[in-house]
């Protein structure tokens, strides 16, 4: 036994070195393009940093202190929170309902799944341009339909009351298909014997859905809700293309404000501070979600 162990040790060491060599390119890429930018952004947030300055004086937590008194930052945070609260529950619940209806293997269910998933694979910037045209009060078909109905056309993207709801609806149209596909896969993996046992116990369809189906797909619900929250807190494409944060900053989000500070005002240090606040916010919300969806194998 001792001889076999001693002979096996060089082989295990060789396999370990081979594995490390295979991992090395990925580790280098992660360090260069992920870890270093993260550390660098935090370092920038502690300085009065601008790409046009040769000297970047250290200011400590001054950028973060400035955020506390910046009304545009709090407005962007409020808009981001409203957008997240308005989109995530609707996206997850609607995606779940669509998944329940379209989880069967019929041809029409497969066709409708493809239809609902099509916006997901489309470029958000391109779709935002299309929707900006559709919602235009001058040349868009929405305005024509309202005029045909005898109503006054609404300039959805240039009205403070309608701009953010319009972006919310476009985002839901774009993202519900992703949630649906994930939950369809989860539903098709639910063991049939669980439903059969619930039927024998006298449970109706709603009781089976609440007590069998939903607990069985809890991991998928966690995944889709976390991804939806992260995407909502990072919303940028549709806002930047459709409204540029207007009208009167009513659709400005944390990422669009960060982009403006970094690439229009060239205040890279201040933009980095906004990025770190957003990072901490996303981490906090994700940890809360993980806590709420916690489960054990004995549940």
Tens place of pLDDT per residue across the chain (299 aa): 444 445 556 777 778 888 888 889 999 999 999 999 999 999 999 999 888 888 889 999 999 999 999 999 999 999 999 999 999 999 999 999 999 998 887 888 889 899 999 999 988 888 899 999 998 888 888 888 888 888 888 889 989 999 999 999 999 999 999 999 999 999 988 888 888 888 888 888 888 888 888 988 999 999 999 999 999 999 999 999 999 998 999 999 999 999 999 999 899 999 999 999 999 999 999 999 888 877 544 44
What per-residue confidence (pLDDT) applies to 148?
A: 84
CA atoms within 13 A on the CB side of 281: 19
Separation CA 112–CA 108 (nearest Å): 6
d(CA 236, CA 256): 6
Q: What share of the chain is helix, strand, coil (3-state, %, to 5)?
A: 75, 0, 25
- CA distances to 66, 219, 230, 233, 263 from 52, rounded to whole Å, are 21, 47, 32, 30, 11
What is the rounded end-to-end Cα distance, in angstroms, of the chain?
43
pTM of the model: 0.88
- Residue 165's CB is within 10 A of a number of other CB atoms, namely 15
- 68-292 CATH fold: MetI-like fold (1.10.3720)
Q: Using CA atoms in the order 154, 159, 160, 161, what is the torsion angle rounded to 10 degrees? A: 0
Q: What angle do CA 151, 170, 107 make, to 5 degrees?
A: 105
d(CA 60, CA 43): 9
CA 217 to chain centre: 20
**Beta pairing partners, 58:** 47
Domain boundaries defined on the chain: 68-292
């Amino acid at each position: 036994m001792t001889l076999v162990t001693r002979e096996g040790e060089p082989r295990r060491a060789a396999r370990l070195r081979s594995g490390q060599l295979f991992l090395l390119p990925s580790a280098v890429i992660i360090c260069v393009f992920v870890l270093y930018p993260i550390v660098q952004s935090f370092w920038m947030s502690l300085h009065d940093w601008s790409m046009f300055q040769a000297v970047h004086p250290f200011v400590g937590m001054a950028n973060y202190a400035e955020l506390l008194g910046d009304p545009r930052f709090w407005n962007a945070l409020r808009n981001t929170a409203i957008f997240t609260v308005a989109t995530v529950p609707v996206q997850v619940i609607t995606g779940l309902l669509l998944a329940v209806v379209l989880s069967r293997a019929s041809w029409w269910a497969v066709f409708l799944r493809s239809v609902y998933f099509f916006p997901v694979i489309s470029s958000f910037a391109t779709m935002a341009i299309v929707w900006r045209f559709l919602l235009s009060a001058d040349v868009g078909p929405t305005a024509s339909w309202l005029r045909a109905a005898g109503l006054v056309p609404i300039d959805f993207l240039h009205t403070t009351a309608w701009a953010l709801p319009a972006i919310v609806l476009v985002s839901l149209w774009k993202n519900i298909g992703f949630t649906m596909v994930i939950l369809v896969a989860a539903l098709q993996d639910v063991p049939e014997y669980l439903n059969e046992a619930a039927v024998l116990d006298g449970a109706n369809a709603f009781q089976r859905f609440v007590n069998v189906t939903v607990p069985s797909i809890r991991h998928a619900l966690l995944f889709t809700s976390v991804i939806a929250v992260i995407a909502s807190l990072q919303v940028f494409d549709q806002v930047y293309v459709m409204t540029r944060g207007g009208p009167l900053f009513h659709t400005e989000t944390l990422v669009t404000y960060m982009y403006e500070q970094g690439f229009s005002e060239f205040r890279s240090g201040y933009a980095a501070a906004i990025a770190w606040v957003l990072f901490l916010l996303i981490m906090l919300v994700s940890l809360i979600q993980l806590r709420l969806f916690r489960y054990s194998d004995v549940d």
